Amino acid sequence: MRITDYSLRNKVISWTVVLLLLVGGSLSFTNLGQLEFPEFPIPQALVNTPYPGASPEQVEEEVTLPLERALQRLEYIKHVTSISSAGLSQIMVELKDDYSADQQPQIWDELRRKVNDAQASLPPGVYPSEVNDDFSDVYGILFNVSGADYSYRELEDYAKILHRELSLVEGVKNVNIAGTVQQQVVLEIAQDKLTALGLDPSWIYGLIQTQNQVSNAGNMLIQGQSVRIHPTGEFASVEELAQLIVSPPGSSELVYLGDIAEISTAFEETPFNLYRSNGVPAISLGVSFAKGVNVVDVGAAIDARLAELENQRPLGMDLTKVNDQAKVVSKAVSEFLVSLAMAIAIVILVLLVTMGLRSGILMGAILLLTILGTFIGMNMLNIELELISLGALIIALGMLVDNAIVVTEGVLVGLQRGQSRLTAIKNVVNQQAMPLLGATVIAILAFAPIGLSSDATGDFMRSLFLVLLISLSLSWFLAITLTPFFCNLMFKEQAVTEGEQQDPYKGVLFRLYRASLMLALRHRMISLVLIIATLFGALAAFGQVKQQFFPPSTTPVFFVDVWMREGTDMRQNEQNMIKLEQELLAFEEVKNVTTVMGMGAQRFVLTYAPEMAYSSYAQLIVETDSLATIERMLPEVRSRLSENHPEFEYKFKLMENGPAPAARIEARFYGADPDVLRQLAAQAIAAMEQVPGAVDIRNNWREPAPIVRPQLDEAAARRSGISKQALDQALLVNFTGLTVGLYRDGSYLMPIVARAPESERFNADRVQDLQVWSQERNAFVPISQAVSGFTTEMEDPIIMRRNNKRVLTVLADVAPFADDTPESMRQKLRAGVEAIELPPGYTFEWGGEFEMANEANEAVFASVPMGYLAMFLITMLLFGTLRQPLAIWTTVPLSLIGIATGLLLLDVPFSFTALLGMLSLSGMVVKNGIVLVEQINIEASKEGNPIQTAIVDASVSRVRPVCMAALTTMLGMIPLLADAFFQSMAVTIIFGLGFATVLTLVVLPVIYSLLHRIRFDQPLAA
């Protein structure tokens, strides 16, 4: 080829390319961004709409339904799921897989417009909806700011200092504070004082609100100057509130607010989110990184800035790291470099042993240059070093020398036959360049389903395809340029006497292979029957292989989700969690315990899915020293919590490596009637509890919760002059508190809350003695004059919907480290759950990991037909015939024999990464087949060489390059066997390629001879 001739003639240019790859690759590696997981925006948005005082059913019908209808008009929507609870609508919107990350901002803007347009149709009392689309923000460095002797206000003050300073660190995208508790100005007004003075509460609340409201008093023109007018009267301190005159106009006595109310500051009693760190109150501070940065460098800069700010940290206040992505990434990159060095050493050692010292050094140099060139490509395409791209580099290691092996081996054979260096190089390049190009393109296309997959899992895995695209393309280019260049420099010509050419294939292994091949060719039908029987046996055995979507992470952190009785107050939630966190802190192996109440924590890892807002929910994030420690202590933790606190429901889970649903196993029941849905769920739970190994079984509607229903007597209330609004306000003030104004304390805005004294608020029996203000009588009247009695009823505290239908989901899991995978457990549960008889109008489906895996597989397989068609067409174009590509492609299924054997022997589940490995194997097997068939054609074209002899000689000549290419790929995968994420892929490729290579060397010549009707029942010509 011209490019090969150019590289041989222009040594300066070739050395310049080598230098550019060495220097450019090294610099590119240092400039690559470093992350823990790939960076891609999660295609979800959350629409929160408060509706204070509304029941879950009212929220569903009056808020959730209108918003769902508006959202469903958007063509981009894949799923709409909603949670309607008392006073709050939460709607999760998920986009279809067809829309890229670049399109999402525009889609979210359109979604906001739809939501805003729908506000006009919502009833009075509904607060404006809030759209949150920042789900892709990962706070890779997560701190807890805590101090036993500090208030939430003091913790927040210090957190704001850190927020200000860390936001200025280069590479930091956002700093977020969570878990803050609102400080309030509290007016505790005793009922008896109001009644005695006959003061209208609404009059008092109105005075407070208007007195402290910022309003515009205008400007005066004085001697040409515009002077602003700003009257006094705003509250400069909390104490000034006590001096507010609240007596009505015309009153003979002055009554001050301080005369009837105890005024103080206090923290909100029922915040929606609380944090604790190692047993003390805390707030959370999360730091997210800008796109494309090196998080290790940014993490070091953050640590350096924190060290500078250490003197501003109050004594006794702690700053605890919950997660340090910079440290995790630094460790991952270090481990990658070790794995890379191991893989390179393994490949070079294999080549040294099998092809000699010079060849081994040459291959090692080409491998290193290819990797460095790949770093240049990654830098140009803004591909960061993260879990997937690092794995792709290791996967590529063994494949990067395949082309160079074929070229080098061909040159060595030519030299052994007495050819000059240039002749040997030109002959092998001219013969093999195009077949190797086609084989390389096919190997790349085998990974194309990953790159073309349109779903979130495809986005997550896309860098795998891109890295392999860059590296494999570069490996072919170097194989026809620098490999010949180095061969010309390093190999010596051999003097061979005419007629005494050395046979390069006279070794024991070659002779053994030749004998085995001849036996198979003479008994072709028996050989094929044996192979087909083995293949069907492997397919049958594949049914015994465990199925898994993504394996758990090896991060030494586990989570305990705690579900208390529905309706649990946040104050009780905190008291409960104080007990539970002490149970965990009693374990010596535990390093840190972070407690989050009311909702999930800030997203600190891409694969962590925060729980929605529930006052009865809490989560314990427990850090230990290793995964082995978790495996050892988790059964005892489960046992201790279940025995000492059996009133709670628990879910124990590990950090995930991939997308994680709410539960690994979900059984969804759709229908209109909540009672029927609960009956179906009860049957499903009963069926699941009969299966050993199924744990954490529950339904997501939770148990019905009690509500108190004062029975309004409308006639009596009308006679007494009491409106429903006055009744609601009286109950609100006396049991929860009514916000009546706003007090400004610097940058803090503190609500002014009117409520009854503690002795009255926490006494439910006192409701009978409550006094309600009557506007008509201008006096308080007993509540009994408007309410005929009080009843207690049960309501559904949570109403779930999915795609405009009510849905109740039964959730189940398998225990961490259990032998069962979620899919194997689902198979055990199927019979019992699917046997439940559904009433007319009710439907059932499986969700959880089963649904996510199917969607991911469908997205991958959607592009498989076109990819495989392209691969087959390329094979046809290479050979210009149909029979030879058919012979090559019939060997592709042979890898299944090795895959099933390896997964069963090592007891490794077949995961999504294993599926990708299996698809990529087709490219590797076809690549080997192309090299073999091309050599058969070359041998057959020699004058006077019978086709039988050509098949055997070509097969023998391809044993070394094909086996070396396979062996380097297989051995290069060894470091990934210790990686939880890539383990199943490594096993799939090692065993699948190993079996397929050995079988291909025998089966492909047999099929080739059958398709071409070539007989081997006579001895070969000498």
Q: Which residues of 221-255 are buried (b: 16+ CB within 10 A; e: fewer)?
A: eeeeeeeeeeeeeebeebebbbebebbeeeeeeeb
Do residues 919 and 973 lie in contact, with contact meaning Cβ atoms separated by under 8 Å?
no
Q: Can you give the pLDDT at residue 135?
A: 67
Stronger pLDDT, 769 or 532, i.e. the higher one: 532
d(CA 762, CA 696): 34
Distance CA 404, CA 402 (A): 6
In percent, how much of the chain has pLDDT > 70? 97
Residues contacting residue 377 through CB under 8 Å, at least 6 positions apart: 383, 470, 471, 474
Other CB atoms closer than 10 Å to residue 139's CB: what's the count? 26
Per-residue model confidence as pLDDT tens digits over 29-44: 888 888 877 777 788 8
pLDDT: is 479 or 213 the higher one? Answer: 479
Question: In one letter, which amino acid is 570?
Answer: M
In angstroms, the CA 741 to CA 211 distance is 9
pLDDT value at position 943? 73
Confidence (pLDDT) at 1022: 46
Say if residue 731's pLDDT is above 50: yes
Q: Is the pLDDT of residue 770 over 90?
A: no
Rounded to whole angstroms, how far apart are CA atoms 819 and 661?
A: 20
Whether residue 385 has pLDDT greater than 70: yes
391 has a pLDDT exceeding 80: no
- Residue 503: the pLDDT is 61
Which letter, b or e, does each residue of 921-960 get, where b requires 16 or more Cβ atoms within 10 Å of its Cβ?
bbbbbbbbbbbbbbbbbbbbeeeeeeebbbbbbbbbbbbb
Q: Which amino acid makes up residue 22?
A: L
Q: What is the pLDDT of residues 917-951, one digit of tens each?
A: 887 788 888 888 888 888 888 888 877 778 888 88
**What is the tens place of the pLDDT at every residue in 119-154?**
999 999 999 999 988 766 889 899 999 999 899 999
- CA nearest 918: which of 466, 661, 655, 545? 545
Count of CB atoms situated within 10 Å of the CB of 765 = 6
Torsion on CA atoms 450, 454, 455, 456, rounded to nearest 10: 70
Q: Which two tokens stand for residue 793?
A: 């009823």
**Percent above pLDDT 90 for the chain:** 37
Is 904 or 967 the better-scoring residue by pLDDT?
A: 904
* Confidence at residue 456, expressed as pLDDT on a 0 to 100 scale: 63
The set of residues, in sequence order, having a beta carbon less than 8 Å from that of 552 and lying 6+ positions away, is 654, 655, 656, 657, 816, 980
Q: What is the pLDDT of residues 364-376, one digit of tens each?
A: 888 889 999 999 9
| pLDDT tens, residue by residue, 505-526 | 666 777 888 888 888 888 888 8
Report the first-to-last Cα separation within the chain, whole angstroms: 34
Q: Considering the chain, what is the average pLDDT of its residues? A: 87
pLDDT score of 1 = 65
Closest to 625 (Cα-Cα) out of 715, 556, 725: 556
Q: Is 70 exceeded by the pLDDT of residue 237?
A: yes
Quick one: pLDDT band at residue 1018, thresholds 50, 70, 90? low
Residue 165 burial by CB count (10 A; 0-12/13-18/19+): exposed, middle or buried? middle
Residue by residue, DSSP assigns 200-220 as -HHHHHHHHHHHT------EE
400-444 pLDDT per residue, tens: 877 888 888 888 888 887 788 888 888 888 888 888 888 888 888
* Helix, strand or coil, per DSSP, at residue 802: strand
pLDDT at 577: 95
Helix residue spans in 356-505 (DSSP H): 357-380, 387-397, 402-416, 421-446, 448-452, 456-479, 482-490
**Among the ranges given (86-100, 145-159, 563-577, 674-688), the one the predictor scored with the smallest mean pLDDT:** 86-100
pLDDT at 234: 77
For residue 620, the cross-strand partners are 560, 595
Q: Note the pLDDT of residue 1019.
A: 59
pLDDT at 849 over 70: yes
CA angle 256, 259, 263 (to 5 degrees): 95
The size of the chain, in residues, is 1022
Which pLDDT band holds residue 501 (cuts at 50, 70, 90)? low
913: pLDDT strictly greater than 90: no
